[in-house]
Amino acid sequence: MTTLAGKTALVTGGGRGIGRAIALRLGRDGARVGVHYGTGERAARETVAEIEAAGGQAFALRAELGSPDGAEILWAAFDARAGELDILVNNAGVLGDLARIEEVTPENFDRVFSVNTRAPFFVTRLGLERLRDGGRIVNVSSVLTRGYTQPSSITYAMSKGALDVLTATLAKQLGPRAITVNTVAPGVVDTDMHAGRLTGDTLTWVESASPLGRVGVPDDIAGAVAFLTSEDGRWVTGHWLEVSGGTLL
């Protein structure tokens, strides 16, 4: 893997779970990493501290991406600490209530879409003026958008499906600037998003869904993001990369 020295990255939701693993990996590969958080300040600052302890550079920045002006607040905080951007990872997301369509409330629907769809759209839109030519955008989606449908996850899956469209469209638009845009689509990953759920029969079922026989961990996803954001990933764009241990086989 080639180095990211001299590059600046921004990872939304970078203080916990998959986002934390991505931030740590990009920092280890040499990037200066902006670690965004919404409410988990302590976790974000711990992530920054871990990157710095390993010899890297990082900074924390706060914005509530579910709010109407969340993207503007995020970039104002970024501009105060950095200039141009090389790597944008739209990772922040919420699962929302597990509910079938007849159980979904308008409040839950709006909350999930405000964080999972509206926020990355406008974060990216405002970020394009800061993103250098040759930059990288990675959107974190889900295998739930293709072939692994779950009725109780309909709202979450729909919100992530919109990211898949964003990836394909922007890849075509930004190609002339040598900016690649890709999606990584995890399966079930052992993070606090699934706290209390991965036990007993549920854990056995999730493990059996992968030919590799285990649940994913955040570092599994971070490795895929590291490839796509590196020079080695320069000829991959508009791609939907399943990172689920073969769940869709």
As annotated, the active-site residues are 156
Contact 152, 93 (CB under 8 A): no
Contact 52, 60 (CB under 8 A): no
Token pair, residue 191, equals 């993070």
Query: What's the CA gap between 56 and 4, in Å, rounded?
Result: 11
- Beta pairing, strands 180-186 & 131-140: parallel
Buried b / exposed e over 173-187, threshold 16 CB at 10 Å, is ebeeeebbbbbbbbb
Q: Where are the beta strands (DSSP E) in the chain?
A: 8-11, 32-37, 57-62, 85-90, 131-140, 180-186, 240-243
User: Which amino acid, one-letter code, is at 211?
Assistant: P
